[in-house]
Amino acid sequence: MKKNSRQTFVLLITTMVYGLAFSGLAMADQEAYRIDNAHSFANWNIRHVASKTSGTFSDVKGKILIDRSNLANSSVEAKINVLSVNSSHAKRDENIKKEEYLDAGKFKEMTFVSSKVEAKSKTEGIITGTFTMHGVAKKMTFPFTMLGFGTDPWGAARMGLEAHTSLKASDFGFTWPLKPNAPIGDEIEITLLIEGVKLPAEKVIK
C-alpha cells in the first residue's frame, strides 16, 4: 500500500472512530421518557358566543428525549387521541366529535414531531416541529418550560414540562369559524401539561 493510501485509510478510520464516539457521547447525555397519558393533558380554550369554553384531550402518548445539560439536544414525538376530548359536558363532547367540528370518526389522531429545540436557559426553550390535525400538517413553534425531575412513590423517575401555544382552526381545514356570525371562534389556545416516566437506557434511540 502506498504511503498516501495508508494515510488516507488511517484518516478515514480515525474519523469514523471519533464520529462514533461523539455520537455515543451525545446519546449518553439523553434520557428517554414515555409520556404518561394518565398524568398528561392537552388543554384547550376557544371562544363560545360571548365567552370561552375549555376542555382537554386526556389521551396523550409518545416519547421524549431530554438532555438536561443541553436542552437543544432533545426531541419530542407525541400523539393525541381526538376521541378523548372532554369539555365536562357529555352531549357537547359528542357534538365536538362530529363531522361538523373535529370529524373524529375520520381523523382520530393528532400528532407532533419535533425538528428543532432551541434552549433559552437550563429550564426553558422553544420547540419547532410538525403538527398534524384533520389531515393537515403545519409547522409550529412554541415555548416550553421544564417543570422538574423527581421520583414517584413507587420508585420510577419522572419529568414534567409545560408548553403554551395557539392555532387557528381554519388553518387546518375546519370551516366552522368561517361561517357568518359563527358561535365558535377560530383561535384555539393550548396548554400542554406533560409528565413522563423514564425508560431504560436502551430506549434512547431517535
Phi-psi map region of 178: left, alpha, beta (phi>0 left; psi -120 to 50 alpha) = alpha
CA dist., res. 128 & res. 116, Å (int):
5
> Model-level pTM?
0.83
**Cα–Cα distance measured from residue 178 to residue 50, given in angstroms and rounded to the nearest whole number:** 17
Q: Which three cell numbers stand for residue 28?
A: 449518553
Q: What is the 3-state secondary structure (H, E, C) of 100-117?
A: CCCCCCCCCEEEEEEEEE
Domains of the chain: 31-203 (2.40.128.110)
Residue 119 has phi, psi (to 5 degrees) of -85, 130
Rg for the chain (alpha carbons), in Å? 22
Residue 13 — pLDDT band, cuts 50, 70, 90?
Answer: very low
pLDDT level of residue 22 (50, 70, 90 thresholds): very low
Q: How confident is the model at residue 29 (pLDDT cuts 50, 70, 90)?
A: confident
**Res. 126 pLDDT band, cuts 50 70 90:** very high
